[in-house]
């Protein structure tokens, strides 16, 4: 039996738990008009600009994080992006951080061509490959980088210290890494004012042409 368009889209979406981008569909030879038509028929759900979900595909607890990453890529964004800050700590299961938005770090020079969803907070910093790991298939800043981002962006000494302790308990940091972070926290706690270390955040970003 020949494959239908939905069969092709389903194959694309399996990798991202039911999500796919219009860019991925075009690369597979499926035009945007087909996606629009399938969305009108209720076969697809338009999650955000350039990102679709297979209708009735069971969503898991990571669906919103996957959508944020796919949104950035659908916006012709950079490959070196990662979930970060409080979102990263939440994914690692350390600290009591409970962010109201999904935190995503992109390079300072990135030009995202689609309007940022209200539930995504964009941070700008030039991450090195060593700053990014993978957690359950998602690009996430490393534990050490995530804790330092929180510390330098918010000056929340309590969250940083708790995160280090939780990470050690969960086996996510070794003793040397924990000691280095604690020294950084101590230095920051005596600093006169918080520093963003070149990192910037915009909760909403206007689309650019």
If residue 147 lies in a helix (H) or strand (E), which one and from where to where? Answer: helix 143-154
Instruction: Decide if pLDDT at 195 tops 60.
Output: no
d(CA 88, CA 68): 13
Give dist(CA 6, CA 1) in Å, integer.
13
Whats the size of the chain, residue-wise? Answer: 209
List of domains in the chain:
5-54 (no CATH), 63-202 (3.30.460)
Given this model, what pLDDT does residue 209 score? Answer: 30
At residue 5, what are phi and psi to the nearest 5 degrees? -60, -40
Kindly tell me if the per-residue pLDDT of 22 is higher than 50.
yes
Gap between the Cα atoms of 74 and 113, Å rounded = 9
Q: Is it the case that residue 125 has pLDDT exceeding 90?
A: yes
Does 25 score more than 60 pLDDT? yes
The more confidently predicted of residues 194 and 90 is 90
Is the pLDDT confidence value at 24 over 80? Answer: yes
Global pTM?
0.70
What strand order describes the sheet that includes 200-202? 132-135, 138-141, 82-83, 102-106, 120-124, 200-202
Closest CA to 162 of 177, 182, 176, 142: 182
Question: How far apart, in whole angstroms, are the C-alpha atoms of residue 97 and residue 154?
Answer: 12
Distance CA 37, CA 119 (A): 27
The whole-angstrom separation of Cα 200 and Cα 180 is 24
Work out the number of other CB atoms within 10 angstroms of the CB of residue 133: 17
């Amino acid at each position: 039996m020949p494959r239908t368009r939905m069969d092709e889209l389903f194959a694309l979406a399996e990798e991202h738990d039911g999500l796919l981008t219009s860019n991925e569909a075009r690369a597979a030879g499926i035009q945007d008009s087909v996606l629009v038509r399938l969305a009108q028929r209720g076969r697809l759900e338009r999650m955000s600009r350039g990102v679709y979900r297979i209708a009735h595909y069971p969503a898991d607890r990571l669906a919103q994080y996957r959508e944020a990453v796919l949104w950035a890529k659908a916006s012709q964004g950079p490959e070196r992006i990662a979930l970060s800050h409080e979102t990263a700590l939440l994914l690692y299961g350390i600290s009591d951080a409970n962010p109201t938005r999904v935190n995503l770090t992109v390079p300072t020079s990135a030009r995202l061509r689609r309007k940022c969803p209200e539930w995504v907070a964009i941070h700008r910093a030039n991450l090195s490959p060593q700053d990014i790991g993978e957690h359950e298939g998602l690009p996430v800043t490393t534990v050490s980088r995530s804790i330092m981002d929180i510390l330098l962006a918010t000056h929340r000494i309590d969250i940083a210290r708790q995160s280090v302790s939780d990470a050690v308990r969960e086996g996510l940091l070794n003793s040397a890494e924990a000691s280095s972070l604690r020294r950084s926290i101590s230095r920051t706690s005596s600093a006169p004012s918080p520093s963003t270390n070149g990192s910037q955040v915009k909760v909403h970003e206007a689309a650019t042409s």
